[in-house]
Amino acid sequence: MFRTAVRSMSTTARKSLTIGLIPADGIGREVIPAAKQAILALGSDLPKTEFVELLAGFEYFKRTGTALPEETVEILKYDCDCALFGAVSSPSKKVVGYSSPIVALRKELDLYANIRPVISVAPTSDEKPSVDLVVVRENTECLYIKQEELTVGPNGKEARATRLITERASRRIGQIAFELASKRPRKHLTVIHKSNVLSVTDGLFRETVRAVPLLPEVNGRYNDVTVMEQLVDSAVYRLFREPQIFDVMVAPNLYGDIISDAAAALVGSLGLVPSINAGDDFVMGEPVHGSAPDIAGQSIANPLASIRSAALMLRHLGYNKGADRLDIAVDQVIREGQVLTPDLGGKSKTEEVVEAVLKKI
């Protein structure tokens, strides 16, 4: 299971823990407070814990002209041990001056790995989950560098985007993926690419990731990891037809984003899927779902992905006992099926689901 295969960034005992909270837009303002409540319920399994409320998002941009205040970045860098990010609205049309704050935060804090476990929770504890995979997504490059231009040519408007793949970033994400795969029971890694068409960019990603076991510093640690490859379109097809064949999947930024959202459909809802944005010195939990403006403020947002993201964040910091308590509580609520939000077929309010989880904790 992924839950037992996350590296701790530090084994040093902390006397206190400061967590930055960035609800941002839409239902982020409902689910991040839920995660905070769950963390507080852990009591003595964590050191003294403090929370810092921070600003960012499209709504903040509309008020101030800035999506990510410098103060938010500075506080995260110098005052926080970790953070939780809610959700950000992404306008489908270009808005002058606006750029996604979550993309900016990943770059500012060098959170180069987006790790998204997708695990189905069986209706009874005796049944083996049919989906148990981890998508490891490179977080800083690909088309998300947002270098686009619009020109006019003989055929009218022409839009171009630059796609960046570097050896350094591909090697770093490859090492994270191999490390995760080596700690899981199946020890299986699938490299996702489209190098049959994009032979230069995806070719570099593929070759660099596959070469990770040959690095001198690895020293044979990944010899027991089985490595396969899958073209991204075929991977999506097989993900829906036979998800059990996948264990750890490593992909460039755009492919990883699409695959992880698609995989969420296999376990019932985006509202169940957590993630962490991890670097060498910082980790930020982030539920995979978006800001969901159509249901914002109605108290029907699913808080479970944010609570699971808090568990992932805590486990990455080495607080395994507290993380286990959060995961077990969420699993029990899902299995019982009595208190669920509408996205899972239930009729419960966000607050009712949070209360059910808190009772299990």
Q: Among all residues, which ones are annotated catalytic?
A: 144, 194, 233, 257, 261
Q: Which two tokens stand for residue 335?
A: 């299995």
- Give the span between the Cα atoms of 268 and 266, in whole angstroms: 6
Burial class (CB in 10 A: 0-12, 13-18, 19+), 214: exposed
Q: 26 — phi, psi (to 5°)?
A: 50, -130
How far apart are alpha carbons 173 and 160 in whole angstroms? 26
- Report the candidate in 36, 25, 119, 39 with the shortest Cα–Cα distance to residue 68: 25
Q: Which residues, 6 or more positions from 246, have their beta carbon under 8 angstroms from its beta carbon?
A: 133, 188, 190, 235, 238, 239
Q: Which residues is 150 bridged to in the sheet?
A: 159
Q: Which residues contact 58 (CB under 8 A, 6 or more apart)?
A: 24, 25, 67, 88, 89, 90, 91, 98, 291
Q: Does residue 277 contact residue 286 with C-beta atoms inside 8 Å?
A: yes
End-to-end CA distance of the chain: 20
- Sequence-ordered list of residues with C-beta below 8 angstroms from that of 338, at least 6 positions apart, any chain: 356
